[in-house]
Every structure is written in structure tokens, then in C-alpha cells.
Amino acid sequence: MLKDFKSFLLRGNVVDLAVAVVIGAAFGGVVKALIDDLIMPIVAAIIGKPDFSGLTFTINNSVFTYGAFINAVILFISVAAAVFFFVVQPVNKLNARYSKEPPPDPSIRKCPECLSDIPAEAKRCAFCTTQVVPIATS
């Protein structure tokens, strides 16, 4: 039983998930600092109040604290924007820069009729039997 438990713990996806949780928690602190220290002061400069939790209205002795909802919406939009602009966009640009398509194989081409891969020197497509002009490869 201990051997099975050990193999479960050392499986790749369990370790990857643990690393992702730890990095996610650390990144959460960075995003929170970004929002608390940079974004909310900008919001406060524009609107005049960084904290909307005190905004309420009352109907029939029921108090509606809509300011907390506004804070949550601003926080959500700020976190989503921070993650998108500071994580997703740079990672996508890095992936696009470093992932290069392999050059096409000159000995293979597409059949003009069925778009199957056929040898460049073929006279007829093996899939749809369309006659094609052979391309000499050297």
C-alpha cells in the first residue's frame, strides 16, 4: 500500500499540480500588490474614492451594500487585466517567437483534388486517383 501511495505522489501530474498551486499563490500576492498599490490609487485619482464598501442605500429598513459589489467588480476586472496583459500576452509572444514550424518536406506535396499528402514524384493520387504532374526532387 505504501508503494502505491509513493507512486501516486511521484506521478508527474501530481507534482506539476503542486508546483502550479505554489506558484499560483505566489503570483496571487504579486497581483494583489499590483492592484492595491498601483491600480486602486489610479481609480481613486479618477473617481475620488479607492474604497466603495461604505456605499449603501436603504429600502424598507433593508440596507443594500452595493459598494462591496463595486469593489469586487473592480478587483475582478483589475486581476483579469493584470493577468492578461502581464502574463498571457507576454507568454503568447514568447511562444510565438520560439516555436517555429518545421520546414515543409520537399518530397511530399498536397493533392490538388483531395488535399491528401502524396509523394512529390507521384503521377496519380493514391487516395482519390486524380492524375497529377510529377515534381522532380533532387
Residue 128 confidence (pLDDT) above 90: yes
Return the axis-axis angle of helices 66-83 and 12-34, rounded to nearest 10°.
120
Q: Which residues contact 70 (CB under 8 A, 6 or more apart)?
A: 52, 55
Task: Give residue-wise pLDDT tens across range 61-109.
Answer: 998 988 888 888 877 887 788 788 888 899 889 888 887 777 778 889 9
Task: Give residue-wise pLDDT tens across range 30-41.
Answer: 877 877 788 778
Domain positions in the chain: 2-98, 103-138
pTM for this structure? 0.49
Domain 2-98 top-level CATH class? mainly alpha
Contacts by 23-31, CB closer than 8 A, 24 or more apart: 27/87, 31/79, 31/82, 31/83
Band (pLDDT 50/70/90 cuts) for residue 45 is confident
C-alpha cell at 59: 429600502
Q: What span, in angstroms and rounded, lies between the C-alpha atoms of 82 and 93? A: 16
